[in-house]
Amino acid sequence: MSWMRLTGYADKFGVHPGDTIKFYINCDGPKQYDARIVKMIHGDTNPRGPGLIERAVRSPVTGTYKGRKQVIHSGSYGFVEDKPQFHLKSFTLQCWVWPTAPKTHPKYWKHGAQGLVTKWHNNKGYGLFINEDGCAELRINGKKITTGAPLRDHAWHFLAASYDAKTGKATLYHEPQIIYALDPEVKPVSAKLAAPRHDSSPVVIAGYTGQHSNAATARSSLPSGILISGMYNGKIDSPRVCNRALSRAEIETMKLGAQRGMTERRNAGPTGALSETIVAAWDFSDGIDTAVGRDHGPYLFDAQIVGCPTRAMTGHNFSGNNFDWKHAPEEYGAIHFHDDDVDDARWEVDFEWTVPKGFESDSYCVKLTSKEGDEDYIPFFVVPRVGEEQAKIAVMIPTISYMAYANEHLANNAGGAELLVYRVPIMQQQNMFLSEHREYGGSIYDTHTDGSGLCLSSRLRPILSVRPKYDHFLMQSPWQYPADLHLIYWLDKLGYKYDIITDEDTNYDGLARLENYNVVITGSHPEHNSGPQLDALHDYTQQGGRLMYMGADGFYWVHSYHPAYEHLGRGVITEMRRCESGIRTWRADPGEYYHQSTGELGGMWRYRGRYLHSVAGTGMSSEGFDISSYYSRTEESNDPRISWAFKGIKYDEKIGNFGLVGGGAAGTELDIVDTMLGSPPHTLVGATSAGRHTEAYLLVMEDFGFNQQGLDGTQHPRVRSDIAYHETPNGGGCFAFSSIAFCGSLPWNNGDPKKNNISRLVKNVLDRFAKDGPLPAAPNSSFKHRGRADYDPPMNKKRK
Amino acid sequence: MIEEHRACIDSMKGVAGCTILRCKTPGDTTEVSGGIHEDFELNRVLLRMRAQPAGNKLVVICTKVEKEWRIGRLSGIRGVPPKFVGRKVYDNEQDPQHDIFLMRLDEFPESDGYPEHFRQGWKRRDDMWATT
């Protein structure tokens, strides 16, 4: 069975009227396909909701296109184009390695030898490898020598190989950094070999030249037309190439690398005579935030680093005293390469669309179909330029979060995911396709194919999880993009005029992107955020802006956009590290908490003193993915500061005991008010789902210090969702709905506020927030001094 | 135990998501009871089944959106996709949950996970979520 023969992506998530958006299509099978632009209103196919809603848009894109296959050449490596200085007869190669998958399963997707430092192709040239059996190997032309000793995974080893063309003697050294008591000794091995012959292949770090190809699909490889094979999984530190066979003592000195311009007063390294042998001496601690592996040798053979591997990684000499690469760069000379890294699919453009000036801001897709029944959608948004806003309401689409979840593989990779969702996961066609096509890369929730954490995600590739008609295994329902369409449907159905902006826009344009709107509405799960974006939201709400936080587990993880990809557009690659705490599908290693892109500390905003509760009033306390529940009004909901929101909803009414995500409005991930964690002390809780959750819901780990019984939804008081409101200065305010499932209740009964009290509640809030001018002032009696710790939640009042 | 599981699954039909609890009104999660909240043995058996490593683990595959579902097995190897098991095609997403429960009851030895089976990695969920 063939899954998804049509896939594609656009060069941007958001396009301004007057600008051009490009589309890149892979059509693997059908001779041709049709494309057209649709307005994408609702993407949930659940028969209990309104179903898929798309509207035709007239555009010159509409047409039939010739199908062609385009492929992603995934995997990261460095390369230097062929240079005469690399056409060596005698040589020495050396580097430190920390392999993560030195030996792979025979059915593993890229099983075979892995290249470390190579100028080798088709039995020509030389190179240092890890062979199929996981042992160090030197190749000269078609000959191979190996120590026969498998490299221990997740451990540092020093490898070197020398070759003297005069004597024909080749020697291979493998020296583990740590030797355990019962480890056999690994002796150097030598053999007589003929001198290397050369072709025009590049020097490759973490791979080798597999093929020079004229095929159309090879054009998207880098260098174009050269397919790199033998992708290495693991760290490489301090690779060197020298132009003669060095002695072991000289090799030892060469570990120090090039020390150019040495005088009696500066630098200490190889002697002048030894330095003359250096062809290249790369130092990956230089340029950590770039896509360049700097060569400190005489020829400046900087390597282009392809695939955006993980940098700011601890090297073989990490001392454990400094944890920030900016303060001890010399201990961060390693790059961790992965065979499934993707920075840019680099496909060729199939068609583009110049959005007419003044075109309506909204949610759109390119819809691709074939006569044979193939189908795919490529979502994008038309975003008005700053100053050319079309509405008073803005929906801020959480594109960083879409990138964080992009092409997520958990149902397939993680057997333990079933414990999280409390049922057997259901895989969709997108998951099936991705399970076979690892080259599409994973999400920041996944581990790489070598098991290490995935902390960088590109949007320049087909992102199959950002699709209409896609149910996510977490809830058997839409998640992120298709879930946010629940909100788009509701706004459209109730006739609101709204603009769409994205995380990128807010990150790059700051307050200017927000300040002309009366209200900004988030998506259902704005979990991943950059600092500039949070700054802009803060400025906005402090200056009288109104924020409607439509979901939960928002403002949780620190993200940064990688500056090395800015030339390709805004926010091409986002980075996030999973540090000490928080919900983590993987955990960063010691010393690897700081971002390579900006040098800032990664992890949770909470541990950077920016509590999630401080952004919109509530913060995540629990998660569970079996079923959802509903809300009840609290006594506080009668306070005139918030009672207007509940107009038309009876005090004892069940609020949101229906929905397209888990069957209720309170579900999946839940936020609560906690004034000790940043909720303003004057926050009001209007409704809560306290006491209504199942055993599958568990308290988040950052909220407790040691494991203990009683953390689940049937027992723990913090497993709940609080619908909360607080005023901000200058007539602003924040309304937090505090559940990811919440938006899934909006389309129920076609969003009719008379038949759907979630719709009624949101309408009440939006109508008030969208009005011009400041919000009505709070009663004088509500101005009083409030402590943080003496805040008294409504549930405690009830128990008194 | 099997009857309770069946009853829970039947009551969850129509809910996007499900759990092994009984909806008082079918397809409506407003009031739920029974299942894992009341049957301790069922609860523990399900947790044991769910905690198995990915290799050869049963999974549900949607073959036509909102129309058809089948049962498959994960390979546990990166890049090797799941394979279908049997030919049965389901017309709803909940029924395969019960059939997988029955299949696992048949496949698991009654003594699965006893202390005498200790080995390194005993009960370790080989879930490929990196341990550091």
B16, B43, B52: residue with CB nearest A662? B16
Residue B116 at interface with chain A, using a CB cutoff of 8 Å: no
- Provide, as residue numbers in chain A, all residues whose Cβ is less than 8 Å from the Cβ of B30: 629-630, 654, 657, 664
Q: Is B10 inside any structural domain?
A: yes
- Provide, as residue numbers in chain A, all residues whose Cβ is less than 8 Å from the Cβ of B65: 45, 428-429, 469
- Provide, as residue numbers in chain B, all residues whose Cβ is less than 8 Å from the Cβ of A464: none
CA of A170 to nearest chain B CA: how many angstroms apart?
Answer: 36
Q: Which regions of chain A carry the CATH code 2.60.120.200?
A: 77-337
Name residues whose C-beta falls within 8 Å of residue B37's C-beta, 6 or more positions apart in sequence.
Answer: A694, A695, A714, B21, B43
Coil, strand or helix at A761:
helix
Task: Chunk chain A into consecutive blocks of 10 residues (it has 800) and report each block's average pLDDT, rounded to whole numbers.
Answer: 92 98 97 98 98 98 98 98 98 98 93 98 98 98 97 97 98 98 97 98 98 97 98 98 98 96 89 96 98 98 98 98 97 98 98 98 98 97 98 98 96 83 95 96 94 96 98 96 98 98 98 98 98 98 98 98 97 96 92 98 97 97 97 96 98 98 98 96 96 96 92 96 98 98 98 98 98 97 88 57
Q: Please state at what angle helix B95-107 crosses helix B2-11, rounded to 10 degrees.
A: 160
Contact A414, B129 (CB under 8 A): yes
**pLDDT value at position A793?**
61
**pLDDT value at position A181?**
98
d(CA A498, CA A739): 22
d(CA A795, CA A797): 5
List all residues of chain A from 91 to 150 with a beta carbon under 8 Å from chain B.
105, 107-110
Q: Minimal CA–CA distance to A743: which of A692, A689, A667? A: A667
**pLDDT value at position A790?**
74
Alpha carbon A782 to its chain's center: 43
Return the structure tokens found at A308.
């955006």
CB-CB under 8 Å, B127 with A417: yes
Residue A489 at interface with chain B, using a CB cutoff of 8 Å: no
CA of A719 to nearest chain B CA: how many angstroms apart?
Answer: 16
A419, A424, A429: residue with CB nearest B58? A424
Q: Is B119 inside any structural domain?
A: no
Residue of B19, B56, B80, B89 to mutate, interface with A, max A Cβ within 10 Å: B19
d(CA A532, CA A792): 33
User: Hey, what CATH class is A6-71+348-385 in?
Assistant: mainly beta
Contact A315, A236 (CB under 8 A): no
A451, A589, A695: residue with CB nearest B37? A695
Is omega for the bond preceding A753 within 30 degrees of 0, making it cis?
no
Residue B58 at interface with chain A, using a CB cutoff of 8 Å: yes
Q: Minimal CA–CA distance to B78: which of B106, B51, B49, B55? A: B55
* pTM, entire model: 0.97
Domain count, chain B: 1
Residue B26 at interface with chain A, using a CB cutoff of 8 Å: no
- Provide, as residue numbers in chain A, all residues whose Cβ is less than 8 Å from the Cβ of B8: none
CA of A723 to nearest chain B CA: how many angstroms apart?
Answer: 18
Q: Minimal CA–CA distance to A500: which of A611, A380, A649, A629? A: A380
d(CA A629, CA A690): 10
- In this structure, whether the domain defined by A77-337 belongs to CATH 2.60.120.200 is answered with yes
Domain that holds residue B27: 2-110
The residue type at A66: K
Residue A797 at interface with chain B, using a CB cutoff of 8 Å: no
A417, A449, A475: residue with CB nearest B16? A475
Taking 50 as the pLDDT cut, the residues of chain B under it are 125, 127-132
Q: Is B122 inside any structural domain?
A: no
**pLDDT value at position B51?**
82
Residue A580 at interface with chain B, using a CB cutoff of 8 Å: no
Contact A19, A472 (CB under 8 A): no
d(CA A763, CA A452): 45
Q: What angle do CA A172, A178, A180 make, to 5 degrees?
A: 105
Predicted ipTM of the assembly: 0.95
CA of B19 to nearest chain A CA: how many angstroms apart?
Answer: 5
Residue A154's CB is within 10 A of a number of other CB atoms, namely 17
**pLDDT value at position A792?**
66
| DSSP-assigned letter for residue A791 | -
Q: Which regions of chain A carry the CATH code 2.60.40.1930?
A: 6-71+348-385
**pLDDT value at position A182?**
97
CB-CB under 8 Å, A425 with B59: yes
**pLDDT value at position B65?**
95
Contact A145, A192 (CB under 8 A): no
